[in-house]
Amino acid sequence: MSKVLANNVYKMRNEELVGLAKNRFLPANVQLAIAKFGYRRAHEYLTYNLGLDKKVRDYLWSDECNKGYVLKTSLLAYGHYKDDPSKYWDLYTRYPSAWGRSPWRMSQALFGGYFYGLPTRPAAPSDLLNKIYDDNFDDRGPKLHGEVMNYWGPTKYQLSRLAQNPNVDLVLAIKLSQRPEENIKRLGFAKIVELSK
């Protein structure tokens, strides 16, 4: 049955492709056939799929399938590379301007929160979280996106997501506890207490 599905992906309507891409029990050969088919929305639904095969995951990350950062952020947000910190570094270093264009997407991939209504699985390493803070939020670091971003709100939303990330280390928690924003300061102190136990 899976061979029949894989061989007929090119005949399917968009809603059929999306329906298959959402199915977490979909065999790897069908997932790959969908990934190699040019329908981008189906690619995005594959990235949300918790049953995504590793070969398909790697293909979706590759520049052959996707030269931009959109699918990469989704793959990271849903924890498909939680055991590979180099992918988080790769996203951050390859797409620095993405912070200005899609700060919410970068935040969800690297800090956590909700991405299209689904909870994310943040796994960015603590050294990267410190670098992101120093580069973008510390008053001494260069600002990639300015103090007020697009309609998603000011940097305090991103900072609150960062402060709630389970990979925040003590150094970053101390930095967050010294912020002028009361809620960020409170989250920073809570993280210090949590890490000190």
Summarize pLDDT for 2-50 with one digit per residue, the tens. 888 888 899 999 999 999 999 999 999 999 999 999 899 999 999 999 9
**What local confidence, expressed as pLDDT, does residue 128 receive?**
96
Summarize pLDDT for 55-71 with one digit per residue, the tens. 999 999 999 998 899 99
CB-based contacts of 147, cutoff 8 Å, min separation 6: 154, 155
- The predicted model gives 148-166 an average pLDDT of 69
Which residues are bridge partners to 148 per DSSP? 154
Residue 79 one-letter amino acid: G
Q: Residue 148's pLDDT band (boundaries 50, 70, 90)? A: very low
Is it the case that residue 153 has pLDDT exceeding 60? no
pTM for this predicted structure: 0.86
Q: Which residue has the tokens 């689904």?
A: 118
Residue 173 and residue 188: Cα distance in Å, rounded? 5
Summarize pLDDT for 131-141 with one digit per residue, the tens. 999 888 876 54
Summarize pLDDT for 81-102 with one digit per residue, the tens. 999 999 999 999 999 888 878 8
Q: Dig out the tokens for 34 from the structure.
A: 């969908």
Is it the case that residue 144 has pLDDT exceeding 80? no
Residue 28 and residue 52: Cα distance in Å, rounded? 8
Mapped onto helix, strand or coil, the DSSP state of residue 148 is strand
Residue 5 and residue 151: Cα distance in Å, rounded? 41
